[in-house]
Amino acid sequence: MQRSVATKHLRRERAYYVYILSNATRRLYVGVTNDLLRRMYEHKNKLVPGFTEKYNITWLMYFEETNDVGAAIAREKELKGWGRIKKMALVETMNPQWKDLSAEWFGTP
């Protein structure tokens, strides 16, 4: 019983992130993760083959945090369904300068 209580507590405290990345040409990518720092490291170092590696999409433009994994996945799907202009407007609510929010995380400003 004690273990399940601790496990439930840990699940509640977990953070999930929905994020938008871009590059120099403002190509956009929407993703979800439970470790934003690790995921940005992977994107910046092109450790996962795919869209972001192909188009050099490594700049963190926007993110949201939630403790609910279901809500994070639903939000990711919602944002992926949006058009480009709506996504860009969302980015500008947090980051009107379109600067990489993770630029200094790994010692390379």
Domain 2-94 - what CATH class?
alpha beta
pLDDT at 48: 86
pLDDT at 102: 95
- Domain residue limits, the chain: 2-94
pLDDT at 11: 52
pLDDT at 4: 45
Question: From edge to edge, which strands make up the β-sheet containing 59-66?
Answer: 29-33, 16-22, 59-66
**Side-chain-facing half-sphere of 83: CA atoms under 13 Å:** 2
pLDDT at 3: 43
Round to whole Å and give the CA distance between 59 and 8.
Answer: 34
**Mean pLDDT, each 10-residue run in order, the chain (109 residues):** 45 85 97 97 94 96 97 98 98 96 82
pTM of the entire predicted model: 0.86
